[in-house]
Structure 1
Amino acid sequence: MTDWTDPDAVDLSDEETFETLLDRAETREKGHYFEFFEPGDELTHDPGLVLSKAGSEDWMGQTLNHDPAYWRPDRARDRGFEAVPVHPDYLLACVMGATVEDLSEKGGYFLGRDDVTIHRSPTPGTELAVSSTVVETTPSSSRPEYGIVTWETVGRNRETGDRLVSYERTNMIPRREPTATDGSGTVTDSGDGEDESTAGPAVPDTLVTPEGGHFEEFRAALNRADETDAAVAYAHERGRTMDDGLVSGLPLSTLNTARQHHNRDVMTDSPSGDIVAYGDVTRSIALAHARSDEATYREWRYDAERFHDFVTLGDTIYGFTRVLDCDADAGPERAGAVTFEHVAYNQHRTPVYSGRRTALLQRSHR
Structure 2
Amino acid sequence: MTDWADPDTLDLSDGETFDRLLDRADTREKGHFFEFFAEGDKLVHDPGLRLTHHGSEQWMGQTLNHDPAYWRADTAQERGFEERPVHPDYLLACVMGITVEDLSEKGGYFLGRDDVEFYQPATAGTPLSVTSTVVDTRTSSSRPKYGIVTWETEGRNRETGERLVSYQRTNMIPRREPAATDGGAVGEQDESDPTLPDTLVTPEGEHFEDFQRALDTAREENAAVAYRHERGRTMDDQLVAGLPLATLNTARQHHNRDEMADSPSGDIVAYGDVTRSIALAHARSDEATYREHRFADERFHDFVTLGDTVYGFTRVLDCDPDAGPSRAGAVTFEHVAFNQEQTPVYSGRRTALIQRDT
User: TM-score higher than 0.5 here?
Assistant: yes
CA distance in 1, matches of 2:78, 2:171: 39
Give how far 1:5 is off. Answer: 1.7
Of 287, 310, 326, 1:333 maps to 326
CA distance in 2, matches of 1:188, 1:248: 32
Deviation (angstroms), 1:184: 4.5
- The residue correspondences of 1:287-302 to structure 2 (distance < 5 A) are 287-302=280-295
From the superposition, tell whether residues 361 and 188 of structure 1 become closer, same or farther in structure 2 (CA, over 3 Å).
closer
Q: Does 1:48 align with 2:41?
A: no
- Counterpart of 1:115 in 2: which secondary structure? strand
Query: Secondary structure at the residue paired with 2:96?
Result: helix
Aligned to 2:231: 238
Letter in 1 for 2:36: F
- The question of whether the paired residues in 1 share the 8 Å contact of 2:139 and 2:181 is answered with no
1:349 aligns with 2:342: yes
User: Partners in 2 of 1:186 and 1:76 — Cα distance?
Assistant: 44
Query: Where in structure 2 are the equivalents of 1:75-90 lying within 5 Å?
Result: 75-90=75-90
**1:29 alignment partner in structure 2:** 29
What is the 5 A alignment of 1:304-315? 304-315=297-308
The answer to whether 1:264 aligns with 2:257 is: yes
Give how far 1:205 is off.
2.0
Superposed CA deviations along residues 96-129 of structure 1, whole A, max 9, x for unmatched, are 0000000000000100000000111111000000
> Separation in 1 of the partners of 2:326 and 2:342?
39
Deviation at 1:180, TM superposition (A): 1.2
RMSD after superposition: 1.4
Q: Aligned pair 1:14/2:14, yes or no?
A: yes
Give runs of aligned pairs for residues 137-152 of structure 1, distance below 5 A: 137-152=137-152
Q: Does 1:39 find its partner at 2:39? A: yes
| Conserved 8 A contact 2:142-2:186 | no
Measured against aligned partners, the alpha-carbon deviations of 1:145-191 in whole angstroms (never above 9, x if no partner) come to 1000000000000011010000000000000000112325499998x
With normalisation by structure 2, the TM-score equals: 0.98
Alignment length, in residue pairs?
358
Give, in angstroms, the shift of residue 346 of structure 1.
0.2
Secondary structure in 2 matching 1:237? coil
2:167 paired with 1:167:
yes
**CA distance in 2 between partners of 1:179 and 1:78 (Å):** 56
* Amino acid of the structure 2 residue aligned with 1:182: D
Q: Distance in 1 between matches of 2:137 and 2:317?
A: 32
| Over 4 Å off, 4+ runs | 184-190
Aligned to 1:99, the other structure's residue is in SS state helix
Q: Which amino acid aligns with 1:327?
A: D
Matching residue's letter, 2:308 = D
In structure 2, distance between residues paired with 1:186 and 1:253 = 32
Q: How many Å separate the matches in 2 of 1:364 and 1:91?
A: 29
Rate the CA distance shift 1:95–1:184 in 2: closer, same or farther, 3 A.
Answer: closer
C-alpha distance in structure 2 between counterparts of 1:88 and 1:304, whole Å: 18
Shift in Å at residue 74 of structure 1?
0.5
Equivalent in the alignment of 1:122: 122
SS of the residue corresponding to residue 59 of structure 2 reads: helix
Q: Which residue of 2 aligns with 1:135?
A: 135
The equivalent of 1:358 in structure 2 is 351
The answer to whether the aligner puts 1:222 opposite 2:210 as a matched pair is no
The corresponding residue for 1:3 is 3
Cα distance 1:114–1:314, how it changes in 2: closer, same or farther (>3 A)? same
SS at 1:116 equivalent: strand
1:178: which partner in 2?
178
- Partner Cα separation in structure 1 for residue 207 and residue 121 of structure 2: 22
**CA-to-partner distance for each residue in 1:261-318, whole Å, 9 max, x for gaps?**
0100010100000000000000000000000000000000000000000000000000
Match of 1:277 in 2: 270
| Separation (CA, whole Å) in 2 of partners of 1:186 and 1:160 | 42
What TM-score comes out, normalization by structure 1 length?
A: 0.96
Q: Could you tell me how far apart the structure 1 residues matched to 2:126 and 2:330 are?
A: 28
- CA-to-partner distance for each residue in 1:70-116, whole Å, 9 max, x for gaps? 01011000100010000000000000000000000000010000000
2:154 maps to 154
Deviation track 1:120-148 (CA, whole Å, cap 9, x = no partner) reads 11110000000000000001111111000
Q: In the aligned structure 2, how far is the partner of 1:61 from the partner of 1:185?
A: 39
User: Counterpart amino acid of 1:66?
Assistant: H
Distance 1:178 1:300, change over 3 A: same
Separation in structure 2 between the aligned mates of residue 126 and residue 144 of structure 1, nearest angstrom: 41
Unaligned segments of structure 2, at least 5 residues: none
Distance 1:241 1:100 in 2: 25
User: What is the aligned partner in structure 2 of residue 62 from structure 1?
Assistant: 62
The aligned residue for residue 205 of structure 1 is: 198
Report the AA paired with residue 165 of structure 1: V
Equivalent positions of 1:309-324 (< 5 A) are 309-324=302-317
